[in-house]
Amino acid sequence: MSRPNLLILAAAAGFALTPVAFAAQTTAAAASAHSVASLAGNPFAQPSPLPFHYPQFDLIKDEHFAPAYAEGMAQNLKEIDAIANNKKPATFDNTIIAMERSGQLLGRVATTFGNLQGANTNDKLDEIDREMSPKLAAHNDAIYLNGKLYARVKALYDKRDKLGLDAEAKHLLERYHMDFVRAGAQLSAADKEKLKAYNSELATLQTSFTQNVLKEINASALVVDTREELAGMSDAAIDAAALAAKARGQEGKFAVALINTTGQPPLSVLTNPVTRKRLMDLSLARGGRGGEFDSRAIVLKIAKLRAEKAALLGYPNYAAYSLADQTAKSTDAVNKLLAELAKPAVANARKEQADLQAVADAEKAGIQVGASDWAFYTDKVRAQRYSFDGAQLKPYFELTNVLEKGVFFAANKLYGLSFKERKDLPVYHPDVKVYDVFDADGKQLAIFLADMYARPTKQGGAWMNEYVSQSKLLGTHSVVANHLNIPKPPAGEPTLLTVDEVKTAFHEFGHALHGMFSNVKYPRFSGTSVPRDFVEYPSQVNEMWMTNPEVLANYARHYKTGEAMPKELLEKVTAAKKFNQGFTTTENVASSLLDQRWHQLPATQIPTDVLAFEAAALKDVGVDYAPVPPRYRTTYFSHTFSGGYAAGYYSYLWSEKLDADTVEWFKENGGLQRKNGDWFRDKLLSRGGTDDALQLFRNFRGRDAKIEPLLERRGLLAE
């Protein structure tokens, strides 16, 4: 996941996956002097003096954010007013470029705050987030609903073919014009006021949803009385559960923390079906069982406000508004994709369930295999069919080896990158590692932060974000971070990953490469500033190197002996790739359908019962299959109700069509070779948002993507 930065030109206007890079120098000497005077001792007052303007985490304190935000917004509005009220006729330089250079202080504080609030929050940061969200929404509105400013942009847009602009500059002008129109610049004065109210309330509600989800995860650990109830978990994991219970004031008990997906990792190993069901029920109930963290009322308000906002902007529903700016373009296109996948996916899942049930019956388990049992019996079927299980693999997947000898090794072979850990730069948490990234010519390309462990102060899931984005105009280079949520073992124990966690590490680094390879002039187009349903594509492609024989041989080594994973085990892993794809596809399609159903409603049809609507929506499309619940239920669906992927969760499946076809291209052209990496980098990864996203794919592939490789990968082709 590429995590959006809630910045100016991004958040309230709805361009959630269009992070804007801000300059690392001040716009004018006067603005700089003003900043220094009003922010004495504040580390945000000036660009960070550290390499690549890496944040000064050791100096940044919670109390620095609010005044830096206030001054940043004030400065930015002065800059915007100067552009809008310029008495000279609009030119590309005095309007578009001027906006590209604006907001530097605000950019520094908003980027750092947004990233820290996701990765290492606290009560004070949560309070600031609640306070700033509506203010930032209003700030964005003050820019995008500025009539004089839009008039200058439109004047340039209307004569864009006569300005002598190069392709990237012309695309920038067209993109700015579209941004303003989609943000409501053409509305009447009265409707602009309505839109401002919508944006402000949505910002507040989305923040509340995000914070509720995290707080409930931390408050909802499964607590058991005895070690026996956790049978199947390792002794180290059970010891960690005892410590977790003690920290919660329940000494003598055992607490198993939750993560923000429906499925929970311990379900694959817990041998007690009662414990498994308790854990699954706890996970499924989040946000919908009453109490202080119940999110149902927030969901209904968000859905209604988004629908009303879309109607105000001339769209039948919010999904139509959102998709008009994506490569999918329409709800019909997304509905068609999901419908094509739903039936064969559920059919495959039912076959898989029958296999699981056969194993349970053979063991005389006396249960009907359901959602809480799926992961446990999946490992058993895998062991029978392919003669291995997940426990056999974990000793070969030690975290540092996976990252440095796997993820980094693949990047070296494919792109010529090299990495050097550095410990002189400050970090916001002791678990964070920092690496300098060098290009094939030896020049430093970027700085990379690896934040891999779960903690109560960190949001669930995995994501990439940037602290600094690349731009030739501004002379900046990428400072990029990857975040995972791997359970941290007790001191002295190795961090051993599951197959899914290894895959996630490669996936998120694909996002990081997209940011680090950015080679654009304008910050508006930097890195992952591409449509949301395209942004997952490069990261999914990078997953292919996880099981590449050369890469795997380099990192998959037993943490005790250093021996490489046996060839026969690797062959079994490769053979099992299509295994359990019915489950994986169904849980993903179900969440994607929920996201679309909520956002394809007009404001007059918002239901009153969240859970009843969810059940009916799943049943209507044929994915109401209880053993495979949605990967995210409505009540803890942060992707969609926190704003970043609203009406966009389908993006993973949509992007996978491009990904699967790209994997075929790599295979056809010799796989892990520099010539292939250089081509992919030059034609696509380095281009950011400088052209139509699907045109970038055509430039790389030589044609449009075909769906057959995706269907074949997921075992759906025969269906």
Say if 441 falls within a structural domain. Answer: yes
pLDDT in the model for residue 568: 85
Question: Is pLDDT at 344 greater than 70 in this prediction?
Answer: yes
Our count of domains for the chain comes to 3
Residues 68, 149 share a domain: yes
Residues 228, 135 share a domain: no
Catalytic residue among 216, 508, 587, 614: 508
Residues 280, 191 share a domain: no
Residues 137, 105 share a domain: yes
Kindly state the tokens that stand for 103. Answer: 């907001």
pLDDT in the model for residue 3: 52
pLDDT in the model for residue 20: 31
Q: What's the rounded Cα separation, in Å, for the pair 467 and 87?
A: 35
Say if 709 falls within a structural domain. Answer: no
Average pLDDT in the 86-102 region?
98
Confidence of residue 15 (pLDDT cuts 50, 70, 90): very low
Average pLDDT in the 562-566 region?
93
Say if 102 falls within a structural domain. Answer: yes
Residues 260, 202 share a domain: no
**pLDDT tens digits along 404-443:** 999 999 999 999 999 999 999 999 999 999 999 999 999 9
pLDDT in the model for residue 634: 98
CB neighbour list of residue 161: distance below 8 Å, 6 or more residues apart = none
Boundaries of domain holding 200: 29-213
Residues 203, 228 share a domain: no
Last residue of a domain, one of 152, 185, 213: 213
pLDDT in the model for residue 2: 62
Say if 2 falls within a structural domain. Answer: no
pLDDT in the model for residue 126: 94
Average pLDDT in the 576-602 region?
94
pLDDT in the model for residue 715: 78
Give the CATH number, domain containing residue 64.
1.10.1370.40
Residue pair 672/551 in contact (Cβ under 8 Å)? The answer is yes
Give the Cβ contact number of residue 2 at 10 Å. 28
**pLDDT tens digits along 478-501:** 999 999 999 999 889 999 999 889
Torsion of CA 399, 401, 404, 407, to 10 degrees: -80
Average pLDDT in the 686-712 region?
94
pLDDT in the model for residue 34: 45
Three-state SS for 482?
A: strand
Kindly state the tokens that stand for 564. Answer: 């490489």
Question: Is pLDDT at 6 greater than 60 in this prediction?
Answer: no
Last residue of a domain, one of 191, 213, 235: 213
Last residue of a domain, one of 179, 213, 247: 213
**Across 23-32, 118-127, 325-334, least confident range:** 23-32
Residues 131, 168 share a domain: yes
Residues 466, 561 share a domain: yes
Cα–Cα nearest to 410, from 671, 634, 164, 205: 671
Q: What's the rounded Cα separation, in Å, for the pair 211 and 509?
A: 26
Sign of torsion, CA 522 527 529 531?
A: positive
Average pLDDT in the 232-252 region?
93
**Across 75-79, 257-261, 533-537, least confident range:** 257-261
Buried b or exposed e, range 52-81, using 16+ CB within 10 angstroms: bbbbbbeebeeebbbebbbbbbbbbbbbbe
What one-letter code names the amino acid at 573?
V
pLDDT in the model for residue 217: 86
Say if 501 falls within a structural domain. Answer: yes
Residues 234, 201 share a domain: no
**pLDDT tens digits along 378-398:** 999 988 888 877 788 899 999
Say if 189 falls within a structural domain. Answer: yes
229 among known catalytic residues = no
Average pLDDT in the 460-466 region?
91
Question: Is pLDDT at 23 greater than 90 in this prediction?
Answer: no
pLDDT in the model for residue 17: 30
Say if 274 falls within a structural domain. Answer: yes
Say if 593 falls within a structural domain. Answer: no
Residue pair 102/526 in contact (Cβ under 8 Å)? The answer is no
Residues 97, 44 share a domain: yes
Bridging pattern class, strands 478-486 and 463-468: antiparallel
Q: What is the maximum span of the chain, computed from C-alpha positions, in angstroms?
A: 84
Sign of torsion, CA 639 294 321 657?
A: positive
Q: What is the pTM of this model?
A: 0.88
pLDDT in the model for residue 4: 44
Mean pLDDT for the chain? Answer: 92
> 306 or 18: which carries more pLDDT confidence?
306
Residue pair 507/540 in contact (Cβ under 8 Å)? The answer is yes
Question: Is pLDDT at 8 greater than 50 in this prediction?
Answer: no
| % the chain with pLDDT above 70 | 94
**Across 346-355, 455-464, 524-533, least confident range:** 455-464
Residues 268, 169 share a domain: no
Residues 229, 209 share a domain: no
